[in-house]
Amino acid sequence: MRLLKRNIPLSFSSWILFIFLTAFFLVQSIRAQEDFTQTIRGRVVDKDARYGLPKANIILLNTNLSVGTSADENGEFVLTRVPVGRQSLKVSYTGYQTVVLSDLYVSTGKELVLTVELKELVETMDEVEIVANYNKAEPINPMALISARSFSIEETNKYAGSYGDPARMAANFAGVLTSRDNRNDIIIRGNSPIGVQYRLNGIKITNPNHFGAEGTTGGPVTMLNTNLLANSDFLTGAFPAEYGNALSGVFDLKLRTGNSEKHEFWAQMGFNGLEFGLEGPFSKKTSATYLAAYRYSLTDIIEKMGVQLKESARYQDLSFNLNFPTKKAGVFTLFGLGGNSSISKPDSEEDAEDWTFQTHGEDLYSKSGMMAAGLVHHYFFNESTSLRTNLSLVGSRVETQIDTFSLVNETPFLKNGERSSEVKYGLSTQLSKKFNAANTFEAGAGWELYDVNYSDSIYFKHAYQQQTGTKTQFSLISAFTEWLHQFSNTLSSYIGLHYQYFTLNSQQMLEPRAGIKWQINPRHALNLGAGLQSQTQARVMYFVQTPLPEGGYTLTNKQMGFSKNVQVVLGYDYSINEFLRFKAETYYQYLYDIPIKESIPQYSILNEGTAYFVDRMDSLVNHGKGTNYGLELTLEKFMSRNYFFLLTASLFESKYQGYDNVSRNTSFNSNFIINAVGGYEWPFGKMKNRALVLGLRVTWAGGRPYLPYEQEATVAAGCPVFDWENAYVPRYNDYFRTSFRVGLRRNERKFNIAFLIDLQYRANYTYIYMYRIDVVTGEIVKDFDMGWYPNGTVRLQF
């Protein structure tokens, strides 16, 4: 099964000049104002228990103005008439570590809303204030002591070439690489993207991307809207026990709440489509808020205007977050994310020389959709004890049809087809208890009921073979407990236990986790983490059918157990100054009970996960193994003096063993990844209300191993025949990509406008799309040209 011949989302490059001119003249038509100030509001909370800290002090730094305030009984605060531009805040509370938040971006178009987390001191000294610069990379989850960092909306949007996509943004971090340019699947420490888990407001969601496929975690265009995200965590190893059923990494995403005092709006046009958003209070009498945004594909709008593009894609998505605080019953939150996408690529409407293959054409029709909705109740029994309960509904569907034809047989003939869907009903609860400054305990349990319907077939060897055809239900039950203990202000330890039970085949797993962090002094820290993690296989794989000689079929994959991963991570952090830090981590992962296949002893499911379709391999058994080990280095300068940069280097090995116990490269063993991303903002104008934005990103990675094919055997068989004897021995050329960014940003009294253009150079087609084989000639079809690909974004906020 194959989807998307070309890079659909970038197909409207020729419209970038039009977007630029529109934004330019719009900016020039705006009359300058004299008053460029904004409001900063937010809440100061205890980092571990999340309750508000009343009477916390907030002071605006580095200004001639005397601006400061104190938080109310709920920890909420408001700072008015703050000058636009980069600002810094100092936040303090008795018995807690004082923090300084540096270089916060304040704009006229939107109030800045913050959640400031303060850490309670285990040891306090009278009249001595312990001050720390707010580490923008420190994870929000206090249980995550290693291989985790937080990221913000600004961070997601400021990296050149990230296109407002959290996954593409994360590809700048050490140990992370996108699988190809036209998809956002991410490879973490040599692991398959299938091992990545997405969470939204605490619930596990399926693939949050347009044009997604069953069993995958990536796609060309994200449904996640960064304009609705709060600061969130990205974890790459040694997860805390609350994260289960993931091997590679976790995106723990949080939606922000809407502005509780003011109605705000925005409009945006760019890579992810044409977008409109709004937020504000439901009523002045309550603290209830709304936040919502809708996006529609720009290429489809252009085509509906009568402009014919070589390629187009149709997609739309909606995100919302409704927050209802109460005085005594806790906080209720209703949120959702949903989208659908479709594409048609009929070669039958093209001339023969423009067909996908030289010898025959294909008509491709595909639709996909995904939705996730949740109701969350967060109740505080007292300041130190809270209960969080989640009800969720998550669903996805895929419909695909591929017809083939030739000059000899002009009537389209059905070759492939799929119609699959999943619905997941979820219920989970989590109890948090902070006993004192040194001890925090959490425990939780969850139940997920899956209602699945899988059906797909392929025409193979002159007959249709139904690969899946199942409609059934099954559950995944999980529970966890974890404890964070701080021996002192400088030494912390963590221990946790995760359990999960899979009702489909009665598989169960108990997973211990542990970690420790030693803050040697204010600048130097060591941390260590270890644990056992397990994951079910892509759910569709349990229902792959194996034909029987006497007719009928059997489900030979149904008894597959969990894939398992034991890992150890050692890290070192060096805070060179308040804006510059160096980080090093080394890790070792041992993977076992990996599904492999006896009849193809070189096969391992560890190599799946980067295509638009997961190969429907049958007769898999949990006898495979794998190892990943490496070293990751990070040098990061946070935004200060109008510039930032992030430099990362990763050296690693990723190996697997199939049924023959021979050690081979995995498909993701590129051996090294080097990333450099940075940016500069130049404020100008009489009121410094304008800024020129410049950005650069460079990625260099080793060539990935691949599975070669036999040309003569392919022609004889009429289908791809792979050379398994040389599996993952040859490599693609090294991958090199450069992205440039230039833009303008302007603040006015009531709104701001920004225009950004990214220019990306692709130097290796094999990383853009894996090869496709013409089964008649046995030749590789290249789907992309190398060269420069522009993309623009225009944003208006008021």
Is the pLDDT score of 43 beyond 70? yes
For 302-343, the pLDDT digits (tens) are 778 777 766 667 899 999 999 999 989 999 999 999 999 998
Beta bridge partners of 434: 440
Report the range of poorest mean pLDDT among 19-33, 77-91, 132-146, 616-630.
19-33
The pLDDT of residue 781 is: 54
d(CA 358, CA 773): 11
Beta bridge partners of 679: 644, 695
The pLDDT of residue 134 is: 60
Measuring CA to CA, which residue among 253, 83, 226 is closest to residue 155? 226
For 590-604, the pLDDT digits (tens) are 999 999 999 999 999
> If DSSP codes are grouped into helix, strand and coil, which group holds residue 447?
strand
Percent of the chain topping pLDDT 70: 87
What would the mean pLDDT of 717-728 be, rounded to a whole number?
Answer: 84
- Token pair belonging to 359: 């010898």
The pLDDT of residue 126 is: 55
Q: Which is more confident, 165 or 775?
A: 165
Measuring CA to CA, which residue among 138, 140, 169, 141 is closest to residue 153? 169
Strand pairing category for 672-684 and 663-665: unpaired
d(CA 436, CA 95): 12
Burial class for 728, CB neighbours closer than 10 Å (0-12, 13-18, 19+): buried
The pLDDT of residue 350 is: 79
The pLDDT of residue 605 is: 96
Measuring CA to CA, which residue among 182, 240, 221 is closest to residue 6? 182
d(CA 430, CA 458): 45
For 156-171, the pLDDT digits (tens) are 788 888 888 899 999 9
The pLDDT of residue 12 is: 44
Question: What is the band of 770 on the pLDDT scale with cuts at 50, 70, 90?
Answer: very low
Report the range of poorest mean pLDDT among 91-105, 166-180, 708-722, 784-798.
784-798
Is the pLDDT score of 792 beyond 80? no
What would the mean pLDDT of 660-668 be, rounded to a whole number?
Answer: 96
The answer to whether 703 and 715 have CB atoms below 8 angstroms apart is no
Is the pLDDT score of 107 beyond 80? yes
For 539-590, the pLDDT digits (tens) are 999 999 999 988 889 999 999 999 999 999 999 999 998 889 999 999 999 9
Q: What is the mean pLDDT of the chain?
A: 86
Report the range of poorest mean pLDDT among 105-114, 348-357, 361-370.
348-357
Report the range of poorest mean pLDDT among 109-113, 352-356, 386-390, 672-676.
352-356
Measuring CA to CA, which residue among 505, 559, 468 is closest to residue 213? 468
Query: What element of type H or E holds 712?
Result: helix 711-717
- Token pair belonging to 171: 């590809």
Is the pLDDT score of 128 beyond 50? no
| Cβ-based neighbour number of residue 592 at 10 Å | 15
Separation of first and last alpha carbons in the chain: 46
Question: What is the band of 773 on the pLDDT scale with cuts at 50, 70, 90?
Answer: low
d(CA 700, CA 651): 12
For 436-457, the pLDDT digits (tens) are 999 999 999 999 999 999 998 8
Amino acid present at 675: N
In the chain, what are the helix, strand and coil shares in percent, each to the nearest 5?
10, 55, 35
